[in-house]
Structure 1
């Protein structure tokens, strides 16, 4: 067991009784893969007649550019509680870490069984039935999120269309890189930016294939609320359609498993109103944003702040974002 794993295991052991009534021992502590800015640890708590599977979501390194825009883990836990009360499928939060717990910033939640890897959700035969309903279910879940009361939420940043564009331009400029396709996208987004909404709603901020738990019946839970903010609800719909989240199945624009029509029908089934033009604008913005995120990860690797080779590999994908932007802004057959 590594030093970090021992610290985590010891800290969780001290919390066993508080996490689960009658909890006596913690075992099976292991770090799960994934998570560019947060760590995810799985473990079990023995409570005599039952063993409960739980998840620790813990800050890794929220410093630097990729930490910007995060609501913070304590706020994320609070938002998840609000979402759960509003009928959004999410794991139950059991404990928000305190300084005295010795585990840093984070929270502990129920572990829900199901698939989270996007490529498996798109391809595995056992999830064929799920794929038939998943886009509709995602639309319905997003409509519920966008109808949650904003009063009582923790302080969140507000990000309307023009503000988000300015933010992405600022980050890109800070990298000192030259990408003509990004410059074309900046111009298009500026010229077509939708008017600001009078009353912004809660936006998940990273609702996509890869941040969902899926089982044979479809959507079981929505994960990773760290980028939640107040803004345009169409942002979430557009982000869900970004090509990078299709995991090789580009013909189905919603996560590689569904159509826009299915997503929009699900959204409308829960009272949501779709503005197709705004969704398209946010899809373009989402493709640009992912490219800037890739650049940021590469800069973190080049600077020596994060020497994980995964950052360098993801950084190379900025070129994919350029290709996606060209396909959106100049579709085949359009001069």
Structure 2
């Protein structure tokens, strides 16, 4: 982890200009950078370079949050761009990147990439709902299959430092590091270990190929973005990750919300001559759902670190583990209990704190934040919407929490456990099983309770 101090927002333009002039020439000028919304793991800034001889050029800066740098990963990502272009994968042109903890990284506060800003849309909600993309949506699964096949034709040996290894065990190590102990996740890890697919392929894996990281315009796919999780391994991992329910954003269609798996598989086979194995893709889809749950827990832990300026978004992501639990139960065929929502909140007439209740206070603050989310700075508006959602979670927990905790404790006692952590450890050790109806009910009840608070509309 670097100890370099990041430049302030006001100083970032000057730092960028010094660095870009070193690459593109002393005549260029750099506009004030604008922080873009989204992206919990990295900062994204848009800015414009003007050259008197060649004109204007729109660029993007992707930077590790200062204090959370990973210069090795950033260097691997930069090398991946070069090899991707050679393999015919659409990616932005890379203008500059840091090579470690040297002067280039220090100049911008942490490890970074600078690339062209291409025209197009990456926001999933717009891609899935705007009429502008209606004509291209149905063709995207086939095209996504073809692009993935090109990624998997990349020469893994041409990307120095590209890591591999057992993805399940690496994810399990990350899971243990979060401190989370949830029965559903333990059941999923056990299932993955006992149902591993066989593969002889070892390719470049993008690692985050999904709706949200694909740039699209009226003609189709313009670029594949965000290569920070690139590694080598089973190429079916990318297909499974693309089909994870989280990346459908409310659509019932499995491939990023755009269409059907059959079209994705057909595009892949037409491009490289290899037909994907549906069962292998399903295994990786379950792995991807578990992976997102662990990543949510990891991001929440980051948000609890003092000085983390993105704490609001990171902590909000932590409660999304509940969505993954439901998805995992469905994929594992274990079913799920309906969200156990108790009745109306008891009267506060005789309550120590009286009216308004905590739920009522949180509700009015939430509405205030929601009303003030529109207009002004896009980043502030985005975070205001996140804050409104967080207040909703807190209000539901205040109202429903006492009754849900009582039900949770009774379900655990009926299964013979004093805590959910004890149950999770027993499932890991094999001394408890989801085949036991009392255990299965306790697992489902807890997952449904968390979802009722985190996102009852999921």
TM-score (norm 2): 0.66
Shift of 1:7: 2.6
Q: Are 1:38 and 1:61, in contact at CA under 8 Å, matched by a contact in 2?
A: no
Change (3 A) 1:297 1:151: closer
Shift of 1:124: 1.0
Alignment of 1:111-190 (within 5 A): 111-159=117-165, 163-190=166-193
Aligned to 1:59: 64
Matched, 1:50 2:52: no
Q: Are 1:146 and 1:233, in contact at CA under 8 Å, matched by a contact in 2?
A: yes
Aligned to 1:226: 228
Change (3 A) 1:15 1:306: closer
Aligned counterparts of 1:305 and 1:179: Cα–Cα separation in 2: 28
Aligned counterparts of 1:71 and 1:256: Cα–Cα separation in 2: 33
Alignment of 1:253-264 (within 5 A): 253-264=254-265
Match of 1:300 among 302, 320, 323: 302
Change (3 A) 1:100 1:237: same
Q: Are 1:22 and 1:47, in contact at CA under 8 Å, matched by a contact in 2?
A: no
Shift of 1:21: 6.1
Aligned to 1:10: 14
Match of 1:326 among 326, 329, 346: 329
Q: Which has the higher contact order (CA 8 A, sep 6+)?
A: 1
Secondary structure (helix, strand or coil) at the match of 1:270 reads helix
Structure 2 unpaired stretches of 5+: 1-5, 337-434, 436-458
Shift of 1:331: 7.2
Aligned counterparts of 1:204 and 1:223: Cα–Cα separation in 2: 10
Aligned counterparts of 1:7 and 1:295: Cα–Cα separation in 2: 33
Change (3 A) 1:321 1:44: same
Match of 2:319 among 295, 316, 319: 316
> What CA RMSD, in Å, does the superposition of the two structures yield over aligned residues?
2.4
Q: Are 1:37 and 1:62, in contact at CA under 8 Å, matched by a contact in 2?
A: no
Aligned counterparts of 2:176 and 2:20: Cα–Cα separation in 1: 47
User: Which structure has the larger Rg?
Assistant: 2
Q: Are 2:58 and 2:117, in contact at CA under 8 Å, matched by a contact in 1?
A: yes
Shift of 1:130: 1.8
Change (3 A) 1:24 1:298: closer
- Runs (4+) of structure 1 moved beyond 6 Å? none
Change (3 A) 1:318 1:109: same
The count of aligned residue pairs is 324
Which deviations, in whole Å up to 9, do the C-alpha atoms of 1:5-61 show, x marking residues without a partner? 233211221234455468521114111112222211111111125211011111215
Structure 1 unpaired stretches of 5+: none
Q: Are 2:201 and 2:235, in contact at CA under 8 Å, matched by a contact in 1?
A: no
Alignment of 1:234-273 (within 5 A): 234-249=236-251, 251-271=252-272, 272-273=274-275
Aligned to 2:209: 207
Give the number of the structure whose residues are more often strand, by fraction. 1
TM-score (norm 1): 0.90
Q: Are 1:129 and 1:217, in contact at CA under 8 Å, matched by a contact in 2?
A: no
Aligned counterparts of 1:330 and 1:63: Cα–Cα separation in 2: 38
Q: Are 1:71 and 1:226, in contact at CA under 8 Å, matched by a contact in 2?
A: no
Secondary structure (helix, strand or coil) at the match of 1:107 reads strand
Shift of 1:305: 6.3
